[in-house]
Structure 1
Amino acid sequence: MAGELTSDKTADGSGAAEAGRAEKASFGFRTVALGEKQGMVDHVFHQVASRYDLMNDLMSGGMHRLWKDAMVSWLAPPRKTRRTWRVLDVAGGTGDIATRIVESGAYGAKGKSSGRIEATVCDINNSMLTVGRDRAEAAGHAANIRFAQGNAESLPFPDNHFDAYTIAFGIRNVPRIQVALEEAYRVLKRGGRFMCLEFSQVDLPVLDRVYDLYSFNVIPRMGQEVTGDGDSYQYLVESIRKFPHQARFAAMIEKAGFSRVDYRNLSGGIAAIHSGWKL
């Protein structure tokens, strides 16, 4: 993964632009200029937005729903709160995680206490946000789930604002993961919690071979059939293999300033949940 930019920024921003071209990042198994990756990732998600959750169901056999439930269960949103409990879900355009959080904190969500849960979904891709807004309104959650377009590396929110930060299957698409982790730390309150659900490294000898065969031979073809875009799913499969393994990612979370960092493997390490606290 590409590191932070080290070039000085000129008054017109040309220094940052030059640095973006000079630094490298992985786009699946390809190496591209750091400044090009975000646009390439955006294109992928514009292509697949309308059928994103359907493809997640097909690719994982519905397991992604159980994994997301496991993350929200470990987060344990308050069922009663005397104040507004704020959670930021980054790269969560379709609102899948935010909906689970709001519904799991039932009393706050339905206004039966003096406080409530307020979820903000932040995604850089407007096509994904459009899907999420429509779904939140249809589910009756428009009052509790807000949507904002923004970059995980430069969040449009104040310091020390949120009680929790979640990101599911999104951080591996961020060009500068360490910068995104530092932004998560910045926007969380003291005592706030960071949680990340992401594909990870399979730790079972037979399962890892089966998983590789399935990933590279079935998923791109499935993506082509369902969305008409196999290339986007080829990238998604490759991006999983380029993402840091569980222990390395935990170290990156600690480097960003988080304490009590821990992780749990799901389905033999196909996915993992990482947790950390801003103390």
Structure 2
Amino acid sequence: MSLLFNKCCLRCSNVHNYFKFTALYSTQTHFGFQTVDEADKSKKVHQVFKNVADSYDVMNDVMSCGIHRLWKDELMKTLDPSPRTRLLDVAGGTGDIAFRYLNYISDMKGDGHVTIADINGSMLEEGKKRALNLKLNQDKVSWVECDAENLPMESDSYSAYTIAFGIRNVTHIDKVLDEAYRVLEPGGRFLCLEFSQVNPTALRWLYDQYSFNVIPVMGHIVAGQWKPYQYLVESIRKFPCQEDFKYMIECAGFRCVTYTNLTFGVVAIHSGFKL
């Protein structure tokens, strides 16, 4: 048991040191399959989501045949918020996770509140329009335009942190995880819903064919945008596998870190606690 623990710690340390090294000495990163300067990646990602903001929710339905709704429902069931949960939803743009949270606690009495944080103002504007159309309680939701790598929130101020389909788009995943740990109060929970690696080899081949040959075409037909959806499928392949991402979360200080694969690993929910 001790040997296994030491091996886990060594791997965690190696992953941490790798990202620390690249942060200190590398000025380049990936943007999909392209190699770009770190300073340019956030600008490129910002432009991607600015271009697709008004069609983002429709394209989510088209690309996943509506299954993304079930994935997000599962994320909220996993969180199981109380009426006093103070949630920070990062990369929450159009409000899919935040609105589920508000509906989840709607029949409960308490001072629960959700802050939706996103680096892209266009996505936030779409979310605000949706909130008005849904006639949600505006007293229980706040909107903040900010960078997930440098949050303006105070330390130990939230009881839960969620990020859905956003962390693979950042420049420094480790900085996002460090910030998540910082803003959570002791006992707070981190949950990440993100595209991951499909496990059965046969299904992986079929998934790749669909991703690279169908999704960009859908983006062109439905949203008039090819390149953003080409970037989407490429960014998924560049994201760490389930086990490596688990170790990264542990390196940020989280404990009791687990993950659950959904739809054969097309996406995964990673969970950790600040203890």
TM-score between both structures, scaled by the size of structure 2: 0.90
* Alignment counterpart, residue 45 of structure 1, candidates 49, 55, 60: 49
1:134, 1:213 → 2: CA distance? Answer: 35
Amino acid at match of 1:65: R
Cα pair 2:148 2:179 within 8 Å, conserved: yes
- Runs (4+) of structure 1 exceeding 3 A deviation are 1-7
2:59 equivalent to 1:55: yes
Amino acid at match of 2:28: K
Once the two structures are superposed, residues 85-112 of structure 1 have per-residue CA deviations (whole angstroms, 9 ceiling, x without a partner) of: 210000010011000011111234xxxx
Amino acid at match of 2:173: I
2:78, 2:178 → 1: CA distance? Answer: 22
Cα pair 2:23 2:172 within 8 Å, conserved: no
Once the two structures are superposed, residues 13-35 of structure 1 have per-residue CA deviations (whole angstroms, 9 ceiling, x without a partner) of: xxxxxx7xx51111000111111
How do residues 32-181 of structure 1 correspond to structure 2 at under 5 angstroms? 32-78=36-82, 81=83, 84-108=84-108, 113=109, 115-141=110-136, 142-181=138-177
Q: Secondary structure at the match of 1:184?
A: helix
1:66, 1:140 → 2: CA distance? Answer: 22
Cα pair 1:107 1:116 within 8 Å, conserved: no
- Percent identical across equivalent pairs? 51
* Structure 1 residue 45 displacement after superposition: 0.1
Amino acid at match of 2:97: I
Amino acid at match of 1:52: Y
Cα pair 1:136 1:145 within 8 Å, conserved: no
How do residues 189-208 of structure 1 correspond to structure 2 at under 5 angstroms? 189-208=185-204
2:61, 2:200 → 1: CA distance? Answer: 23
Counterpart in the other structure of 2:260: 264
Q: Secondary structure at the match of 2:107?
A: helix
Once the two structures are superposed, residues 139-170 of structure 1 have per-residue CA deviations (whole angstroms, 9 ceiling, x without a partner) of: 22222121100000000100000000000000
2:248, 2:19 → 1: CA distance? Answer: 11
Once the two structures are superposed, residues 201-256 of structure 1 have per-residue CA deviations (whole angstroms, 9 ceiling, x without a partner) of: 00012211110000000000100111111001000000000000000000000000
2:260 equivalent to 1:274: no
Amino acid at match of 1:97: I
1:29, 1:240 → 2: CA distance? Answer: 10
How many pairs are equivalent? 257
Structure with higher helix content:
2
2:19, 2:126 → 1: CA distance? Answer: 32
Counterpart in the other structure of 2:221: 225
Counterpart in the other structure of 2:19: 3
Query: Structure 2: which 5+ residue stretches go unaligned?
Result: 1-14
1:116, 1:217 → 2: CA distance? Answer: 47
RMSD over aligned CA atoms reads 1.5
Counterpart in the other structure of 2:3: none
* Structure 1 residue 6 displacement after superposition: 5.6
Cα pair 1:25 1:31 within 8 Å, conserved: yes
Query: Structure 1: which 5+ residue stretches go unaligned?
Result: 8-18
Cα pair 1:246 1:272 within 8 Å, conserved: yes
Cα pair 2:75 2:269 within 8 Å, conserved: yes
* Structure 1 residue 57 displacement after superposition: 0.4
Amino acid at match of 1:232: P
* Structure 1 residue 116 displacement after superposition: 2.6
